[in-house]
Every structure is written in C-alpha cells, then in structure tokens.
C-alpha cells in the first residue's frame, strides 16, 4: 500500500470572510425576486390576492431565514488546502462534500470572477480532474490569493510527468 498517496482529510484553510457577504447578497437577491413574483399577480387579480400575498409572505420569510443562516453555516464548512501532492476541499451546506484531487490527476486550473464576486474582491478557482465526480471548485477566495493558488497549481501539475488521465 502506498503511504505517500493523498488521503481524504479535513482541509486547513477557510475561504475569505467576505464570502459570507457574497453568499448573503446572492441569497437576498433570490429571496427578493421570489417574494415579488407572487405580489405582482396579487396586485392585478383581486379574487386570488390573499393567496398570493400569503405565498409571498411564506417565500419571503423562508428566504430571509435562509439568508441569515446559510452564509454563516457555509463559512464554517467551506475549507481548502493545497499540498505538494493534492488539492483538498470541503464544501456544501445541506449536502457536504470532502474531495481530494491528486496533483497527477489535475488537467486544468481556471479562475472566475462574476460581477458580484468582483464587488467583494473575490474569485473562484476551478480544478478540473480526470474524475467522474467533476471539477473541484474553491469559491470565495480573495482575488489575489486565487491568482496565486492557480499559479501554484499550474506550476505543481507541470512538474508531474504524464497527461492526467
């Protein structure tokens, strides 16, 4: 048995604290949209007004509850780490996932910044591997750190022989 092989374990690093505000803003935007949708027909169609307003209240209340709880919970769960041999991640909210990707299996490394991420100075790093489980994404990193992580992963994977398949 190869004792040098990467093992599934909790990663050490948290995402940037600003990710909480990013997740909160995204969740609040979805809540507002979902709450407004039933209000519009309620204003137009009087016979069903009470039912649409009740629906709007329920959607708004649940959405606000999620908006308050989810970002804090995700911040506690989301972790990442890069070693000489592997990339480790822990993510999720209701369904949590731990992943390890050996450097020898990494095919591409990408960074992305959506408009809202740019507002908060954040980026995401996506590590595509030769795995049926799909890519590993580290979201909520400081933009400068995300660039450094992508550079480090690119350098590390270039040093490993083979084609990552």
- pLDDT surpasses 90 at 165: no
What confidence category does residue 45 fall into, taking pLDDT thresholds of 50, 70 and 90?
confident
Q: Is residue 8 part of a domain?
A: no
> 47 or 54: which carries more pLDDT confidence?
54
Indicate whether 108 and 122 sit together in one domain.
Answer: yes
Residue 58's CB is within 10 A of a number of other CB atoms, namely 12
Q: Are residues 114 and 154 in the same domain?
A: yes
10 belongs to a structural domain: no
**Confidence at residue 164, expressed as pLDDT on a 0 to 100 scale:** 59
Half-sphere exposure of 152 (CA within 13 A, CB side): 14
Query: Residue 137: which domain range?
Result: 80-158
88 and 66 housed in the same domain: no
Query: What is the model's pLDDT at position 107?
Result: 92
Nearest-angstrom CA–CA distance, 56 and 50: 10
Q: How many domains does the chain have?
A: 2
Tell me the pTM: 0.84
For residues 58 and 133, the model is more confident at 58
Give Cβ neighbours of residue 117 (< 8 Å, ≥ 6 apart): 22, 123, 124
- The residue among 74, 92, 110 that closes a domain is 74
Of 13, 23, 30, whose CA–CA distance to 114 is shortest?
23
Contact 102, 85 (CB under 8 A): yes
């Amino acid at each position: 048995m190869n004792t040098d092989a990467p093992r599934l374990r909790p990663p050490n690093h948290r995402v940037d604290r600003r990710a909480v505000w990013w997740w909160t803003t995204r969740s609040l935007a979805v809540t507002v949209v979902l709450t407004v949708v039933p209000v519009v027909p309620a204003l137009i169609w009087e016979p069903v007004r009470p039912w649409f307003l009740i629906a709007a209240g329920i959607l708004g209340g649940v959405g606000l509850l999620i908006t308050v709880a989810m970002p804090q919970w995700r911040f506690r769960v989301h972790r990442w780490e890069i070693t000489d041999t592997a990339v480790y991640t822990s993510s999720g909210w209701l369904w949590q996932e731990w992943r390890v990707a050996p450097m020898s299996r990494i095919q591409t490394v990408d960074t992305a910044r959506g408009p809202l991420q740019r507002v908060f100075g954040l980026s995401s790093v996506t590590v595509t591997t030769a795995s049926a489980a799909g890519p590993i994404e580290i979201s909520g990193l400081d933009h400068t750190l995300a660039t450094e992580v992508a550079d480090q992963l690119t350098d590390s994977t270039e040093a490993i022989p083979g084609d990552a398949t």
